[in-house]
Structures are given as C-alpha cells and as structure tokens.
C-alpha cells in the first residue's frame, strides 16, 4: 500500500478517535493527543533508520524503508499493544486525565490495528514484549 495513502488513513483514524473521545468529554485538546499517538507515532521509524544508518539522516533512505531489512528486525519502539493497555488503565485510574489517556489509547489502538491489516503483519509483531523477546532470543 502506498505510504502517503497509509498515512492519510492514519490521519483519518486519529481524527476519528479524537472525535469519539470529544463526543463523550467535550474537550477539544483530545484531538492533539489523538494525533500524537495515531499519526505522529510513525516518527519512531527514525529509531530503526538510526540503527541501520547511524546519525547521518537521508530522507530518501528513510522513506525507502530498507532499514528493517538492514537491521534484520523491527524496533519501532512506540508501536505496542502494551501501551494501549497501559493507557486504558491510566485513563480508568486517573479520572482527571481520562480524556487524554483515552484519546491516546484509542488512537494508538486504531493505528496498530490498521498497521496489522495494511502490512499483513502478525498481531504479536506489534507487541513490544514479543519483539524484545525475539531480539534477546537471537543472541
């Protein structure tokens, strides 16, 4: 799937998550939080790029996405179902910031769900603990 099209869907899903939380809480700030966890989260690909090429950043190499093959694994440290669970629990436990945690969690959930679908990836591939275990097992 085309990268630009994928990012437009992430943008749409983030605004959808923000709208859902806004509907219940009436707080417009939730759109910012939904965009952070649902759209700007893909900036964590920079970490994989850095692991492959070091500190010299090349936009063409970054968008080519070869860093996954070069690294032989996928890091994307902010992509994790565990964060969705943690954000849901934080929202449940800390009422004062509930709209923020729910916006972050719902938007991240939609982002990861679409990533699994669009990348034809296994569900566990988006588990931080699973990826850490796989890297440790390789050594």
Kindly tell me which of 18 and 37 has the beta carbon lying closer to Zn ion: 37
Give the count of residues interacting with Zn ion (CB under 5 A): 2
Q: Segment near Zn ion (CB under 5 A), from 18-26, 80-88, 95-103, 109-117?
A: 109-117
102 near 21, Cβ under 8 Å?
Answer: yes
Angle made by CA atoms 23, 96, 111, in degrees to the nearest 5 = 50
Closest separation between CB of residue 25 and Zn ion, Å?
26
By CB under 5 A, residue 48 contacts Zn ion: no
42 binds Zn ion per the rule CB under 5 A:
yes
Question: Can you list the alpha helix ranges (DSSP code H) found in 28-80?
Answer: 30-38, 45-53, 59-64, 67-71
Choosing from 18, 115, 126, 131, the residue that interacts with Zn ion (CB under 5 A) is: 115
**Angle at Cα 90 formed by Cα 84 and Cα 95, nearest 5°?**
135
Residues contributing to the site for Zn ion (CB under 5 A): 42, 115
């Amino acid at each position: 799937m085309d990268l630009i099209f994928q990012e437009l869907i992430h943008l749409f899903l983030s605004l959808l998550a923000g709208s859902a939380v806004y509907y219940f809480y009436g707080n417009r700030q939730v759109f910012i939080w939904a965009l952070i966890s649902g759209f700007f989260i893909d900036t964590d690909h920079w970490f994989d790029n850095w692991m492959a090429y070091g500190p010299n950043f090349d936009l063409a190499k970054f968008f080519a996405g070869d860093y996954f093959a070069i690294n032989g694994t996928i890091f994307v440290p902010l992509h994790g179902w565990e964060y969705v669970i943690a954000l849901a629990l934080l929202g449940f436990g800390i009422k004062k910031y509930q709209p923020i945690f729910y916006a972050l969690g719902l938007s991240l959930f939609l982002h990861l769900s679409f990533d699994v679908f669009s990348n034809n990836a296994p569900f566990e591939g988006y588990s931080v603990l699973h990826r850490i275990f796989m890297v440790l097992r390789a050594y």
